[in-house]
Amino acid sequence: MVKFSRLSSYKVHHLCFCEDITASSASKLLRINRNTINLYYNHFRDLIFQQSFRKNARNCGIFELDESYFGARRVRGKRGRGATGKTPVFGLLKRDGNVFASIVPNCSRAELMPIIQGKILEGSTIHTDGWKAYDGLILNGYDHYRVFHSKNEFARGKSHVNGIEAFWSFAKRRLAKFNGLNDESLCT
């Protein structure tokens, strides 16, 4: 794409995410149409995705699984899974590796298990919180360890989900600068 572009290599270099510049700011800085900047940013995201978690590849190792909800700040009195109007996102983090995130209709076992089985090979070690959708991972051939946040437990030896929760925190802070994002752009 860059090879046949009318952009100089200098401008392409500064479009990269290393500079931490939004598409609007990059458009003004480089005097390029914002739609062109968006096209390049989406192309860079696709390349990064292709180099990290391949769509059909199954991995073996140690993983952390968790779900999070993206959207406007919660309404007073509404918490956690009862927070209406938010987009549920399921994520899995390979320790010392990459994160895979996917928007799901809900965080039920029926929705999460096909993703888990499609991304993680049997025999892998999985760390989760106490959410009931993760019941039965042992029956599917995984080594499964849990921490129960409801009992004020956040780590038990090497069993924790701090890595994926740190990713959720980072992602929400990064996305806040966009003042909202549609669901189609969230996991691309």
46: enclosing H helix or E strand: helix 34-51
Query: What pLDDT, in 10s, does the model give residues 108-149?
Result: 999 999 999 999 999 999 999 989 999 989 999 999 999 988
Query: What pLDDT, in 10s, does the model give residues 22-39?
Result: 778 888 887 888 888 888
Contacts of 67 (CB under 8 A, 6+ apart): 88, 89, 90, 91, 104, 107, 112, 131, 133
Can you tell me the mean pLDDT for 80-87?
67
What letter does residue 89 receive in the DSSP assignment? E
Contacts of 171 (CB under 8 A, 6+ apart): 70, 101
- pLDDT for residue 13 is more than 60: no
Question: How far are the Cα atoms of 34, 98, 103, 109 from residue 86, in angstroms, in the given order?
Answer: 28, 25, 11, 19
Q: Name the most confidently modeled range: 59-68, 80-89, 178-187.
A: 59-68
Instruction: Specify the range with the lowest mean pLDDT, choosing from 51-55, 104-108, 169-173.
Output: 51-55
Nearest-angstrom CA–CA distance, 162 and 167: 9
Q: What is the pLDDT of residue 168?
A: 92
Architecture of domain 62-186: 2-Layer Sandwich (3.30)
- pLDDT for residue 1 is more than 50: no
**What's phi and psi for 170, nearest 5 deg?**
-65, -45
Nearest-angstrom CA–CA distance, 5 and 174: 29
Query: Is pLDDT larger for residue 182 or for residue 152?
Result: 152
pTM > 0.85: yes or no:
no
Angle of helix 34-51 relative to helix 23-30, nearest 10 degrees?
120
Query: What pLDDT, in 10s, does the model give residues 45-72?
Result: 777 666 655 555 678 899 999 999 887 7
Nearest-angstrom CA–CA distance, 30 and 22: 12
Q: What is the pLDDT of residue 19?
A: 62
Q: What is the pLDDT of residue 123?
A: 93
Nearest-angstrom CA–CA distance, 122 and 86: 32
Domain locations in the chain?
Answer: 9-51, 62-186
Closest CA to 169 of 97, 99, 96, 104: 99
Can you tell me the mean pLDDT for 84-95?
88
Query: Is pLDDT larger for residue 96 or for residue 165?
Result: 165
Q: Give the chain's length.
A: 188
Ranges of beta strands (E only) in 13-98 are 62-70, 87-94
Can you tell me the mean pLDDT for 91-120?
90
- pLDDT for residue 100 is more than 80: yes
